[in-house]
Structure 1
Amino acid sequence: MEFRGLRRTFGTTVALDGLDLTVAPGELIALLGPSGCGKTTALRCVAGFETPDQGAVLLDGEDITRVPANRRDAGMVFQSYSLFPNLNARDNVAFGMRVRKVPTARRHARAAELLELVGLPSHGDRYPHQLSGGQQQRVALARALALEPRVLLLDEPLSALDAKVRVTLREEIRRLQLSLGITTIFVTHDQEEALSVADHVAVLREGRLEQSGPPAEIYDRPATPFVAEFVGTMNHLPGRLSGDLVEVAGQRLPVHGDRPGTPEVDVLVRPETVLVTPGEDGDALIVTSSFRGASVRLLLRLGDGTEIVADLPGHDAARFALGGRANVRLVERPVLVAARTPAAAAEAVSA
């Protein structure tokens, strides 16, 4: 599947501004970005619910940009479950097959097969109001798969569910996608969701592609400050450029990516790349400590007043007391820098 120079406007609002993106066959790609970045509009252009002003959508090499939605061979799952309240789960799954006049016995057999696939083999006779939110979304997923589409489109399908159900269902979606080998586009604004289920993540900003790559690359090697801040938590530390290096927190580190035109910069540093050791004569004060089970998050204040967030293994929590002192160093690895923003220089920004 391919997006070629997609542009879509709504009045004076530009939803897509020349989007170029390729999705490999059988791949699950997550479109990630803040509200209004164009990710749902891109999905709707694939589904046929929106027609781009410019550009093209290709599926298996075929230009489907102006093919009617009912002829695109795409299955879609929405944020709202959109089940028919007067139909039971089996008939909801079989609805598309009924529209296509598939014989009754065949569509019932297919619906039963799909309900088993999504873990609801005994729920076929239940109506939507008799199902939990997670179960309703499983039925919606089975319905989208009923006609064996060439591409599966998921528009924030988990956002209406509670946290535990979301984790379980996203793992089920990934398992199903891998077993069926179906090309899938998953729209979400949840970074953890995108990183955990996708083969590739495409980060959108103001209708354009900011960066695309495997989840580990997006997280560990963000191409721009925007990607770095949106995906994960990021410290902003005051630094000063000196050639290909930046001076930050008493260290000189290599710079990755573009450099602003001024020597005074913000240095972007992940909390897990902050090394902390307790020490009575340490240069940092432990301001807060948040235990998170597998990890502990410390907020420390350096001697110059700069605050920095560090993530350490949870078993280290007892080593760091509030009000205590600690030594802080940064892992020696290339860092991103951005133009200095006074408000960000003394605080960590969470995406």
Structure 2
Amino acid sequence: MTAGVEFRGLRRMFGRTVALDGLDLTVRPGELMALLGPSGCGKTTALRCVAGFEHPDEGAVVVDGEDVTRRPANRRDTGMVFQSYSLFPNLNVRDNVAFGLRVRKVPAARRHARAAELLELVGLPTHGERYPHELSGGQQQRVALARALAPEPRVLLLDEPLSALDAKVRLTLREEIRRLQLDLGITTVFVTHDQEEALSVADRVAVMREGRLEQCAPPAEVYDRPATPFVAEFVGTMNHLPGRLSSGEVTVLGMTLPVEGPLPATPEVDVLARPEAVLLTPDPDGEGLVVTSSFRGSSARLRVRLGDLEVLSDVPGHDTVRLAPGTRVGVGLVRRPVLVAGRAGES
């Protein structure tokens, strides 16, 4: 049985440092929610409050309608996977997976059957008699995942579980985690500072900053329609183009576009534009000059010198011939509402 999770006005202080500053967030039953943000934003503290390893100074943690804020960790019905695996070196893989069941005094035959079932599920059916030191990092993390799932928790908590792995293993394992989560339908909270990881696995992404929630939305919405300049900067690559505000619109690159989101107090602003929103047209008299081209198969990223600026533009791969380095280009933007931020140095 899965359960929803609610963070209600969570506040947590460590000395004078504010780790959580009134966090309000709801994770729906069966959903994979990614908590995304830079180091120190409070995402791990929020996760540990759900697990029962931290207790908020104010607010409540509610699981399936029950306030569990002061309930001990061993009575919360959650499973947690850590960045560092935390396997018991003196136990073999089967006994590591079955450890939580042994604590619950489940009979040995049932423990071993459940361990075998989960090792099959995570792709390690023949590794039960091995010890942690005989496994790769990716295999150890699969065992840790199986151990967390063994007691059939209502909520699965993942604290940067892939950050210690190399890139190829990380990609494979994040796909496996998502497959398992969908197959089991278990409510999952996944903490990461890796934007690509969050966008690729989550049903919704909660972007955090300084203990507060900046935006919570499906991945495509967080990327395409960031709620704040911070989200726009943190998720994906962003160009800063000088513009001028007037009557809720901004003039940039000779175009006038509507503005969405908060409006700075000063008319001189930076227009935030993704590389794919920057349009290039070959033009011998164009104000831009293609400096470099990085081919990526179906697309290419071009670096364009525009006066004192350098602008990034993503174009279809087949356009790299007509937009080779040294080509002069006209530079424009896709006609849609844009997000703006106060220009650095402006009061």
State the TM-score, normalizing by the size of structure 1.
Answer: 0.95
**Structure 1 residues 199-218: aligned runs within 5 Å:** 199-218=203-222
Tell me which of 302, 305, 308 is aligned to 1:305: 308
Aligned counterpart, 2:165: 161
Which digits, 9 at most, give the CA deviation of each residue in 1:214-241, with x for residues without a partner?
A: 1111111101000000000000110000
Q: Which amino acid aligns with 1:316?
A: D
Q: Does 1:326 align with 2:329?
A: yes
Q: Does 1:339 align with 2:327?
A: no
Q: Which amino acid aligns with 2:329?
A: A
Q: Which runs of 5+ in 1 are unaligned?
A: 344-351
How far apart, in 2, do the equivalents of 1:188 and 1:123 lie? 28
SS of residue matched to 2:321? helix
SS of residue matched to 2:123? coil
- CA drift of 1:264 comes to 0.3
- CA drift of 1:324 comes to 1.9
SS of residue matched to 2:94? helix
How far apart, in 2, do the equivalents of 1:238 and 1:342 lie? 13
Aligned counterpart, 1:348: none
Aligned counterpart, 1:178: 182
**Structure 1 residues 266-285: aligned runs within 5 Å:** 266-285=270-289
Farther off after superposition, 117-126 or 55-64: 117-126
- CA drift of 1:293 comes to 2.8
Q: Does 1:61 align with 2:61?
A: no
Q: Does 1:71 align with 2:75?
A: yes
How far apart, in 1, do the equivalents of 2:332 and 2:243 lie? 14
Aligned counterpart, 1:7: 11
- CA drift of 1:342 comes to 5.1
Tell me which of 136, 144, 149 is aligned to 1:145: 149
How far apart, in 1, do the equivalents of 2:208 and 2:282 lie? 40
Aligned counterpart, 1:222: 226
Farther off after superposition, 289-298 or 218-227: 289-298
Q: Which amino acid aligns with 2:15?
A: G
SS of residue matched to 1:108? helix
How far apart, in 2, do the equivalents of 1:26 and 1:58 lie? 15
How far apart, in 1, do the equivalents of 2:331 and 2:159 lie? 42
Aligned counterpart, 2:106: 102
The CA RMSD measured in Å over matched residues stands at 1.1
- CA drift of 1:20 comes to 0.3
- CA drift of 1:56 comes to 0.2
Aligned counterpart, 2:253: 249
How far apart, in 1, do the equivalents of 2:21 and 2:199 lie? 25
SS of residue matched to 2:329? strand
Which digits, 9 at most, give the CA deviation of each residue in 1:70-97, with x for residues without a partner?
A: 1100000000011111111111100111
How far apart, in 2, do the equivalents of 1:44 and 1:81 lie? 16
SS of residue matched to 1:256? coil
SS of residue matched to 1:112? helix
How far apart, in 2, do the equivalents of 1:192 and 1:65 lie? 32
How far apart, in 2, do the equivalents of 1:32 and 1:104 lie? 40
Farther off after superposition, 136-145 or 83-92: 83-92
How far apart, in 2, do the equivalents of 1:313 and 1:80 lie? 40
Farther off after superposition, 292-301 or 204-213: 292-301
How far apart, in 2, do the equivalents of 1:171 and 1:119 lie? 13
SS of residue matched to 2:302? strand
Aligned counterpart, 1:349: none
Aligned counterpart, 2:239: 235
Q: Which amino acid aligns with 2:312?
A: V
Q: Does 1:316 align with 2:319?
A: yes
Q: Which runs of 5+ in 2 are unaligned?
A: none
Tell me which of 81, 88, 94 is aligned to 1:90: 94
State the TM-score, normalizing by the size of structure 2.
Answer: 0.97
Q: Which amino acid aligns with 1:18?
A: G
Q: Which amino acid aligns with 2:325?
A: L
Length, aligned pairs only: 342
How far apart, in 1, do the equivalents of 2:56 and 2:141 lie? 29
How far apart, in 1, do the equivalents of 2:88 and 2:101 lie? 15
Tell me which of 34, 41, 60 is aligned to 2:38: 34
Give 4+ residue runs of structure 1 displaced > 3 Å after superposition. none
How far apart, in 2, do the equivalents of 1:156 and 1:309 lie? 30
Q: Which amino acid aligns with 1:124?
A: G
SS of residue matched to 2:161? coil
- CA drift of 1:294 comes to 3.1
Aligned counterpart, 1:188: 192
- CA drift of 1:280 comes to 2.4
How far apart, in 2, do the equivalents of 1:95 and 1:51 lie? 25
How far apart, in 2, do the equivalents of 1:280 and 1:124 lie? 67
- CA drift of 1:17 comes to 0.4
How far apart, in 2, do the equivalents of 1:342 and 1:272 lie? 27
